[in-house]
Amino acid sequence: MAAGSGPRLIVCVKGSLDESLMASDKGLNDLRPKRIIYIIKLHIVGDGCRFWSKTHKSGIVVPCHSLCFMIYLLVHPLLQSRDSGEGSSVQLSLGEEFSGFLFVLKLNESTWVNDMGDDFYIPLPSSGSSIIGNREDQSEGVQREVTEEEGEEESISVFTDGIINEIRHLVTDISSEKNRKTKSKEAQESILQEIEKLAAEAYSIFRSSVPTFSEESIVESEAAAESKTLILPDLPPQISSGTGTGYEILCQGFNWESHKSGRWYMELKEKAAELASFGFTVIWLPPPTESVSPEGYMPKDLYNLNSRYGTFDELKDVVKSFHEVGIKVLGDVVLNHRCAHYKNQNGIWNLFGGRLNWDDRAIVADDPHFQGRGNKSSGDNFHAAPNIDHSQEFVRKDLKEWLRWLREEIGYDGWRLDFVRGFWGGYVKDYLEASGPYFAVGEYWDSLSYTYGEMDHNQDAHRQRIIDWINATAGTAGAFDVTTKGILHSALERCEYWRLSDQKGKPPGVLGWWPSRAVTFIENHDTGSTQGHWRFPSGKEMQGYAYTLTHPGTPSVFFDHLFSHYKTEIATLISIRKQNKINCRSTVKICKAERDVYAAIIDEKVAMKIGPGHFEPPSGSQRWSSTLEGRDYKIWEAS
């Protein structure tokens, strides 16, 4: 492997050293008979796995530790530097009754890394044998005894490999010289916290998927024990508020005009079964609160849920209906600003009523229009309404209680967070930890980079700002991938498909750097609908969906597009995504990014191309079948 490409374990297991040899050569005089020395050697290429030590002000990193799991036994030795060559080693003394152990890297006291998916099950040799193990040998040896369906194992492996790819990217990023020079210590620590979260997620999946002996086979008779098999337990969904299960497909269930009917909730209820049949797993509902504006984005009394979309009871009813067909529901919550009920003595609207009857201390001091007495804003000001000061303890307490109330009383499963540029992402982390959402996504929308009116090819600074916000939330929320929206928009509008690959040959948006936290979209109620602030190129919408619904990230489909002449094509794309288990961490191999064509292969299962140019998947051992074709796009599946 090339340096910097991530950690790689080389495992060597030696056995059957007699006691006198062990005592004289290894200094282990207190070992009992019939114990075996096992020496594990690790070679970590490049910068390897590291975690930041807050006690080292100079930024010194501390070495990895190892954790060894044996069946019914846990040991926790430190890695020792090898006398010659690179890497580390650890020495274990085990009784011969152990048949195997799991080996994983440990980042800190509570976080482990699963590197390659199935490297770390090591069957111990019988006395007198010597085994040199590598990934292929170990994997093959274990899989021969597993009796569960191979499809589930493949799904687990693909999903875990995606997590590991993210860890590798983050490790490479934080270890680079450029990163150390340009990023603050706080930013580096945020990235390292995300590495730990991903590592814990990978380890959780790994521990759920490794072979274990069933209790029944252990206590059965000798004859039965001879035929005992390894059992692969069912893998429960690995859920994070930033990703859901990783297989989410989101539908935005409204547009800018939906409030006009006065019964939008009931209209959506009638479509619940149809949306479920399309394959959507999550629906995003409009803001539920009383609002100065009919669309809901100028909230007033947060506990009054009678809005232009319907009544409190109708809201509960539509949420219940979606739950009955297996769809999770996101509430659109506006936490950045709130409209006041009363004027102060100077005639300024900055005093609130209702259950949350805050005074002007709840408003940031540097909002020029509303005479707030709070602290300075931690983000950008929204000038149409008082900006809330989230540094105030009473504000955070009240908002946490409100979010919990929405979860319990209405049944919301998660949140779409409006205008998160307006306040620090760390406050979002507090709110999410308090309300425990299944899924959460923030709207961090600012301008991309342009030179003389033309979009720059390099949009790293733009996607970095979105990622910085996600980092501030400690990865508890995803974010709409505005970078990908903008680049895709420009590429299709100008026939410049080369824009869809960055300088390293990866997708150029957030999904190229942090796919599990990228919620991809081509249109929403702001960019399209009757507002049309940034409308996707007309007639090219299906090219956009051919991209987002085949690529990693969590794709979002706009209501107006779904219930249009695109319905059948979108439904087919969703079916292809689900059939091939494409998820938020799927891998992308970009095959072409030229003037008139972009093509990629995802997870070695789906090939796609958009643009008028020509592309065919490479012929060879893998055969491809055309599944869907439309105007300037085509999809193939591996057969």
Q: Are residues 255 and 225 in the same domain?
A: no
Q: Are residues 489 and 525 in the same domain?
A: yes
Q: Are residues 205 and 269 in the same domain?
A: no
Pairing of strands 230-231, 65-70: unpaired
| 346 domain-assigned | no
| Tokens, residue 482 | 């505005």
pLDDT at site 15 = 34
Q: Are residues 259 and 146 in the same domain?
A: no
| 183 domain-assigned | yes
* Intervals of the chain under pLDDT 50: 1-33, 43-76, 109-112, 114-121, 126-150, 203, 206-235
Q: Are residues 423 and 327 in the same domain?
A: yes
| 427 domain-assigned | yes
- Identify the CATH number of the domain in which residue 294 sits: 3.20.20.80
d(CA 97, CA 434): 46
Q: Are residues 45 and 98 in the same domain?
A: yes
Q: Are residues 150 and 257 in the same domain?
A: no
Contact 408, 319 (CB under 8 A): no
| Tokens, residue 288 | 């539920």
| Tokens, residue 125 | 């040799």
| 357 domain-assigned | no
pLDDT at site 161 = 61
Domain with 539, as residue range(s), is 250-334+393-586
| Tokens, residue 191 | 């990235």
pLDDT at site 346 = 96
d(CA 31, CA 24): 12
| 381 domain-assigned | no
Q: Are residues 195 and 310 in the same domain?
A: no
Q: pTM for this one?
A: 0.68
Could you say which of 231, 266, 284 is where a domain stops? 231
Using only the alpha carbons of the chain, give its radius of gyration: 27
pLDDT at site 255 = 96
Task: Point out the residues that are catalytic.
Answer: 418, 443
Closest by CA to 419, choosing from 469, 371, 464, is 469
Q: Are residues 226 and 309 in the same domain?
A: no
CA distances from 57 to 53, 157, 182, 246 (A): 8, 38, 17, 36
| 423 domain-assigned | yes
Left (φ > 0), alpha (ψ -120 to 50) or beta: where does 479 sit?
Answer: beta
| Tokens, residue 223 | 């004859």
Q: How many independent structural domains does the chain possess? A: 2
| 388 domain-assigned | no
Could you say which of 178, 197, 231 is where a domain stops? 231
d(CA 422, CA 381): 6
| Tokens, residue 481 | 């991938």
CA dihedral of 201, 205, 207, 211, whole degrees rounded to 10: -170
Could you say which of 204, 231, 258 is where a domain stops? 231
Q: Are residues 281 and 225 in the same domain?
A: no
Q: Are residues 265 and 210 in the same domain?
A: no
| 4 domain-assigned | no
Q: Are residues 202 and 258 in the same domain?
A: no
pLDDT at site 222 = 30
CA distances from 373 to 334, 361, 388, 581 (A): 21, 5, 11, 52
The H-or-E segment that residue 112 falls in is strand 112-113
Contact 285, 254 (CB under 8 A): yes
